Amino acid sequence: MIPTASPLLIDPRERAVPLYTVAQLRRLEDAQTRTLAAHTLMARAGHAAAQFLLERIDPARSVWIACGPGNNGGDALVVATELHRAGARVEVCMPAPVKSVDACWALDGARAAGVPIVDVLPDSLDDCGWAIDGLFGIGLGRPLDGPYATLAARLNEHTRRGRRVLALDVPSGLDSDTGNVAHGSVAVQATDTITFIGGKPGLHTAQGRDMAGAVWIAPLGLDDALRVPHEWCAAAPDLGAPPSPIAPVACLNAPDLFAPHFPGRDFTSHKGTFGTLAVVGGAAGMCGAPILAARAALYCGAGKVHVALLDADAPPYDPPHPELMLSRAGALSLSAMTAVSVGPGMGQDADAARVLAELFDLAAPLLIDADALNMLARDTALAARLSARGRDTGHAAILTPHPLEAARLLGIDAKGVQHDRLGAARRLVERFNAVIVLKGVGTVVASPDGRIAINPTGNAGLATGGSGDVLGGMIGAFAAQRVPAYEAALAGVYLHGLAAESLSSEGDGPAGLTAGELAPRARHWLNRLIYKARRSGGY
């Protein structure tokens, strides 16, 4: 096989990486194949996957490989050949002959090595350890059907039984641009995916996270495809190669993107150094939401935190956190704030609408969530004012809708938002001239300047009441500390998700994890990933 100087595999959760559409990846691949020897990329892809498996397979169990008719099948045949030569027990199921020139080359190699190849579909995969999805990858332009749908069902049953399934490039049947099951049909649910050349957005958002499992990138020697454009990330790793000639469609969120923007914590610092946040909301019976947000802001480093409550009978202080300063909404001078977060538990009556409209005159960063988003969706005049604020003054707000709220803002249904989450986020940016945080699996963060990122952290533990309020408080805290709006949003969603993951890893989630547990754990990761790293010479 053809060696490369670059790493065989990259863990995309360890740093920011570009994400490309299928069309962009084909252009990158075509440009490289003109300068490389025949079959080089397929050889490298198969070699990377084979090495991954050789470090993990049980020698006592066989490896079963489902092989499709195109280049994904060719990659699978190279994997089979390398495993067979290394002494692993391998069986390839190939219902139809491969067709492409590269895949035929791989088939000739597998046959010459004596790899067992059958065209009969198995009744079950009980006797094998790892199973490999080499059916279609990104090359599927139609629904999985016939024997390939049956093979996908066998692979999915293997996953449900707690066994390991490795998808080559992309789980077959998954749209790697959007993260949806292609054509509403069936797709392979893998436990692991090795994706080739560069990252794909669909592996990290919508259904993609569940279908792809743990994702690794095999760059195949094309290191330029892993370079984040400098204007997107000043701290992007230097791989010793020029950036890709094709601008990525998005980037995978990581501390590289936001950590350099955080303020220092010098000995001469004081509470004013780290800003003052006001959380506005809390109509009658709903004061818990803004208090959750405000507590999160304390844990995330804001110097001072006020809570402006609409409820006339609101509590005078928060016993667990007397550091918070509670007041009636009309009694607090919001012009003195360095950031304002509005919406949690706010209600949607006339008083709430008036308070929201008044906030648009502030020059401070403004985060809009929950009930405030729903008021924007139903009041076109308010929406127009917000859009003008971002366009004419440069004070871009931060909007944090979940899919249903996003659908209301766009005048479509939630299914339409989920069908193309990147596209929905871009349309919201265009409408409101704001930084958009489209929550959900693979939260999308989009900026008016064209930057867009998908967040890789988080789990089902975040599906709990108050989780969104905590996120709003975190982002508001970072904005109050004068972190730019886009980077504040990136930091909030990353640390919020990481908090849920680390709590779950210790047995405190995902089931039963409460929103109030997130902020203390987010504080831990804030200090570890940003301030400890900075003391060690990073960021």
pLDDT tens-place string over residues 409-455: 999 999 999 999 999 999 999 999 999 999 999 999 999 999 999 99
Confidence (pLDDT) at 4: 47
In Å, what is the CA distance from 448 to each residue of 365, 390, 394, 436? Answer: 15, 9, 10, 9
The predicted pLDDT at position 334 comes to 93
What is d(CA 425, CA 429) in angstroms, rounded to the nearest whole number? 6
Give the residue from 308, 357, 348, 342 showing the smallest Cα distance to 479.
342
64 near 133, Cβ under 8 Å?
A: no
Q: Tell me the C-alpha distance between 442 and 438, whole Å.
A: 9
Fold of the domain built from segment(s) 266-535: UDP-N-acetylmuramoyl-L-alanine:D-glutamate ligase (3.40.1190)
Looking at residue 99, its amino acid is: K
Please list the residues that pair with 214 across neighbouring strands: 192
Residue 163: per-residue pLDDT: 96
Taking residue 526's Cβ as centre, other Cβ atoms within 10 Å add up to 24
Q: Which CA distances in Å does 148 have to 152, 195, 324? A: 6, 20, 59
Closest CA to 501 of 457, 455, 466: 457
Instruction: Enter the tokens of residue 45.
Output: 């892809």
Q: Write out the two tokens for 39.
A: 């079959």
Burial class (CB in 10 A: 0-12, 13-18, 19+), 14: exposed
Write down the domain spans for the chain. Answer: 12-252, 266-535
State the pLDDT at residue 338. 97
pTM of the full predicted structure? Answer: 0.94
pLDDT at site 6: 62
Confidence at residue 7, expressed as pLDDT on a 0 to 100 scale: 79
Task: Identify whether 510 is preceded by a cis peptide bond (ω within 30 of 0).
Answer: yes
Q: Which parts of the chain sit beneath pLDDT 50?
A: 1-4, 235-241
Start-to-end CA span in the chain (Å): 38
Task: Pick the closest to residue 215 from 206, 204, 205 (CA basis).
Answer: 204
Q: Quick check: 99 and 73 in contact, CB under 8 A?
A: no
Third-level CATH fold of 12-252: Rossmann fold (3.40.50)
Phi, psi (deg, nearest 5) at residue 407:
-60, -40
201 close to 456: Cβ distance less than 8 angstroms: no
**Block residue for tokens 């009744």:** 123
